[in-house]
Structure 1
Amino acid sequence: MKLDLCSDLIYTNNLDTDKFARMLDDPSQCYKFYWLEAIINLITTTDNDLCFDQIINEMIFEAWYSVTRYHLHLGPAIKGKSENFLEHAVKVVESDADLPQSATKIDILAAIARKEAKLKSDKNNLTIYVPYRLISSFLDELSGGDHMWDQHRRLIAYIEKINEQQNLPYTIVDGRGINKKIHINKYWKQLIMDNFPVGTI
């Protein structure tokens, strides 16, 4: 994914594109990349709100060919076994007996729906840190080991407070598990749509 922001565009609200460029720094696994890619791919189909579940379904689709066709591991292996939740989710969907061999996006999303119960654990694990850690470059006062990362209600309130001082790419709407939502900032949405070939990343 290329983060190539057009420098000649001037946004009156002074978006911090340096912090945006640092969003993908220091990833321990690939989750941040797929979470951001999913948001960018879905951004034209939403009124600025995206459900965690919707984003994760898009992540599974985006990782599909890397895992099933090219057999790439999306994270480190532990004792020879991949512990990557996204990779495991893809394999769960791949095991669906009704999935055509040459699956389209519609086929994959339908298989995800059929395998929802078996995907629950992977999906929940993907929501623990990824939505929050992706915007950590905007949260200057939080260190990587801060206990607030494990206290989602406090963290969501903190993100809202920071958003009052500067425009964050998105805030998080509290809810239960994968039913939480992100609210995409309209100015960031416009910047992304102006600078990314949406749907062709």
Structure 2
Amino acid sequence: MLDVERLQFLDLYSFELRLDYFEKILEYTSSSYSFYWLEAILNLMIYKDTIEFDEILDEMISLAYEDVVEKGYHLGPLIHQKRTNALENAILSIQKYLPENCSKQEIIICVKQHDEDLKEYKKLLIMQTPYRLLSSFLVDVGGNDPIWNRPKDIIETIKDYNEKYRLPYIIENDRGLKRRVIVQPEWRDFLMTNYRVIMEWVHDEKIKYLEKRKIEESAS
């Protein structure tokens, strides 16, 4: 749970931020994608507020690499002993090109060098993750609503909700991996001010998810 008491609010913006929705942003996630997507955005927004999907995915791969290769976590379910998680499979496809204990920068460089080989995994990763992460803010959109499978429509829905109350980000429409996340200025100020606390929360929730999956796999 996010430790709200440790957060600092900016008087100018705090009234516009729905922290009650933000607290639930990782609550009902059914895959590990949301943790790494959010963590990647938090890292990249330090330098800019408009970020291409492709850049977020590169950051996600670099963040998840150690969890998969060094720590042996499965990021998604095994079906008939086959790995089904696109992020995990992307990492395993480039592992052979990297030395043991490689640095984050080496991983990023490798991802860019083998970008063509990773395209199909990346396309799977952006099918719903960028939009589903905001589901706690989209209070009238059900989890099984077909709109989740229509990117252009859900992008417009996100923008409509952003007019009612500020969402952490909206999405600028383009083609596939060229779409862009635009972190809203009010949220960017808030997230930057509380960066350490929020990153601790994301990390803790991610580890809880991965450990739970590990226990479930051991029991099966």
Q: Distance in 2 between matches of 1:11 and 1:137?
A: 24
Structure 2 residue identity aligned to 1:157: E
* RMSD of equivalent CA atoms: 1.7
Q: 1:141 to 1:109 in 2, by over 3 A?
A: same
TM-score, L = length of structure 1? 0.92
Cα offset for 1:3?
3.6
Structure 2 residue identity aligned to 1:189: R
Structure 1 residue identity aligned to 2:9: L
Structure 2 residue identity aligned to 1:142: V
Alignment of structure 1 residues 57-68 onto 2, 5 Å = 57-68=58-69
Q: Percent identity?
A: 34
**Structure 1 unaligned spans of 5+:** none
Alignment of structure 1 residues 84-99 onto 2, 5 Å = 84-96=85-97, 99=98
Structure 1 residue identity aligned to 2:74: H
Cα offset for 1:121?
0.6
The answer for the alignment partner of 1:133 in structure 2 is 132
Cα offset for 1:28?
1.2
Cα offset for 1:4?
3.3
Q: 1:22 to 1:11 in 2, by over 3 A?
A: farther
The answer for the alignment partner of 2:54 in structure 1 is 53
The answer for the alignment partner of 1:142 in structure 2 is 141
Cα offset for 1:11?
3.8
Q: Secondary structure at the match of 1:172?
A: strand
Cα offset for 1:8?
5.3
Asked whether the 8 Å contact 1:92–1:115 carries over to 2, the reply is no
The answer for the alignment partner of 1:169 in structure 2 is 168
Structure number with the higher helix fraction is 2
Q: Which shifted more, 151-160 or 10-19? A: 10-19
Aligned length: 197
Counterpart check, 1:114 vs 2:113: yes
Cα offset for 1:7?
4.8
The answer for the alignment partner of 1:69 in structure 2 is 70
**Structure 2 unaligned spans of 5+:** 204-220
Q: Secondary structure at the match of 2:182?
A: strand
TM-score, L = length of structure 2? 0.84
Asked whether the 8 Å contact 1:41–1:199 carries over to 2, the reply is no
Cα offset for 1:165?
1.0
Q: Distance in 2 between matches of 1:136 and 1:62?
A: 23
Q: Distance in 2 between matches of 1:168 and 1:76?
A: 30
